[in-house]
Structure 1
Amino acid sequence: MFDQQRIDALPLHQSAPAGAQPVLAGLRVVDFTHFVAGPLATMTLADFGADVVKIEAPVKGDDFRHYPTVDPEIPAQGGPYLWTNRNKKSLALDMKSAAGLEIARALIAGADVLVENFSSGVMERFGLDHATCLALNPRLIYCSVSAYGREGAYADRLGFDPIVQAESGFISMNGYDDRQGVRTGAAIMDTATAMSATNAILLALLARARDGKGQRIEVALYDTAILMTGFGAMQHLTTGYEPRRNGNVSPDTCPSGVFMTADKPVYINCGNDKIFQRLFGQVFERPDIAEDPVYSQRAERLKHREAIFKIMDEAFARHPWSHWAPRLRAASVPHGQVKTLGEALASDESRSRGLITRIPHPVKGWVPNIATPLRLSRTPAVAPQAAPAVGEHSEEVLRDTLGYDDARIARLRTEGAFGPCAAA
Structure 2
Amino acid sequence: MSSVELPLAGITVIDVSHLAAGPWCTMVLADLGADVIKIERPGVGDMSRQAGGVYAGEESAVFLSFNRNKRSVALDLKEPRGREVLYRLVERADVFVENLRAGKTAQLGIDHATLANLNPALVYASISAFGDDGPYVDLPGNDPIIQALSGAMSLTGEPDGPPARQGVSVPDFGAGMMAAFSIVAALLGRQTTGRGCKLDLNLLDVEIFALGPRAQEHLITGEDQPRLGSAHPQFAPYQAFRCRDGRYLYIAAINEKFWHLLCEALKSPELADDPRYATNPDRCRHRSTLVSTLEEALAHRDRDDWLALLNEHGVPCGAVNSLTEAMGDPQVQHNELLQRMRHAGVGDLTTVAMPLHLDGQRLPIRSAPPRLGEHTDEVLAELGTEVVP
TM-score, normalised to structure 1, is 0.87
Q: 1:41·1:194 contact (CA, 8 Å) conserved in 2?
A: yes
Q: Which segment is superposed worse, 118-127 or 370-379?
A: 370-379
Residues 341 and 380 of structure 1: CA distance in aligned 2, closer, same or farther (over 3 Å): closer
Q: 1:67·1:80 contact (CA, 8 Å) conserved in 2?
A: yes
Q: How many residues align?
A: 388
Q: Which segment is superposed worse, 381-390 or 219-228?
A: 381-390
The counterpart of 1:403, out of the listed 372, 384, 389, is 384
In structure 1, list runs of 5 or more residues that go unmatched.
Answer: 1-15, 414-422
Residues 70 and 265 of structure 1: CA distance in aligned 2, closer, same or farther (over 3 Å): closer
**Structure 1 residue 403, shift from structure 2 partner:** 2.9
The counterpart of 1:55, out of the listed 35, 39, 46, is 39
Residues 357 and 72 of structure 1: CA distance in aligned 2, closer, same or farther (over 3 Å): closer
Separation in structure 2 between the aligned mates of residue 350 and residue 379 of structure 1, nearest angstrom: 15
Aligned to 2:73: 91
**Structure 1 residue 43, shift from structure 2 partner:** 0.3
Matches within 5 A, 1:333-372: 333-372=315-354
**Structure 1 residue 48, shift from structure 2 partner:** 1.1
Separation in structure 1 between the aligned mates of residue 94 and residue 285 of structure 2, nearest angstrom: 57
The counterpart of 1:295, out of the listed 277, 283, 288, is 277
Q: Can you list the C-alpha shifts for 1:345-394, whole angstroms capped at 9, x where unaligned? A: 22222212112232112232201211111222278523342100000000
**Structure 1 residue 119, shift from structure 2 partner:** 0.3
In structure 2, list runs of 5 or more residues that go unmatched.
Answer: none
Q: Which segment is superposed worse, 350-359 or 121-130?
A: 350-359
Q: Compute the RMSD of aligned alpha carbons.
A: 1.7
**Structure 1 residue 332, shift from structure 2 partner:** 2.5
Are 1:105 and 2:87 an aligned pair?
yes
AA partner of residue 63 (structure 1): M
Q: Which segment is superposed worse, 308-317 or 123-132?
A: 308-317
Are 1:184 and 2:163 an aligned pair?
no
Identical columns (%): 37
**Structure 1 residue 70, shift from structure 2 partner:** 4.9
Q: Which segment is superposed worse, 125-134 or 249-258?
A: 249-258
> Does the residue aligned with 2:277 lie in a helix, a strand or coil?
coil
Aligned to 2:14: 30
Matches within 5 A, 1:11-26: 16=1, 18-26=2-10
The counterpart of 1:217, out of the listed 199, 205, 217, is 199
> Does the residue aligned with 1:383 lie in a helix, a strand or coil?
coil
AA partner of residue 253 (structure 2): C
Separation in structure 2 between the aligned mates of residue 152 and residue 306 of structure 1, nearest angstrom: 43
Separation in structure 1 between the aligned mates of residue 217 and residue 55 of structure 2, nearest angstrom: 47
> Does the residue aligned with 2:358 lie in a helix, a strand or coil?
coil
> Does the residue aligned with 2:307 lie in a helix, a strand or coil?
helix
Aligned to 1:195: 177
Matches within 5 A, 1:108-127: 108-127=90-109
**Structure 1 residue 63, shift from structure 2 partner:** 0.9
Aligned to 1:6: none
Q: Can you list the C-alpha shifts for 1:208-250, whole angstroms capped at 9, x where unaligned? A: 0111110000010010111122211111111212111112222
Q: Which segment is superposed worse, 156-165 or 330-339?
A: 330-339
Q: Which segment is superposed worse, 91-100 or 150-159?
A: 150-159
TM-score, normalised to structure 2, is 0.95
Separation in structure 2 between the aligned mates of residue 94 and residue 111 of structure 1, nearest angstrom: 19
Matches within 5 A, 1:142-157: 142-157=124-139
The counterpart of 2:303, out of the listed 321, 339, 342, is 321
AA partner of residue 188 (structure 1): V
Aligned to 1:136: 118
The counterpart of 1:389, out of the listed 363, 371, 374, is 371
**Structure 1 residue 71, shift from structure 2 partner:** 4.3
> Does the residue aligned with 1:144 lie in a helix, a strand or coil?
strand
Matches within 5 A, 1:214-253: 214-253=196-235
AA partner of residue 135 (structure 2): A
Q: 2:341·2:365 contact (CA, 8 Å) conserved in 1?
A: no
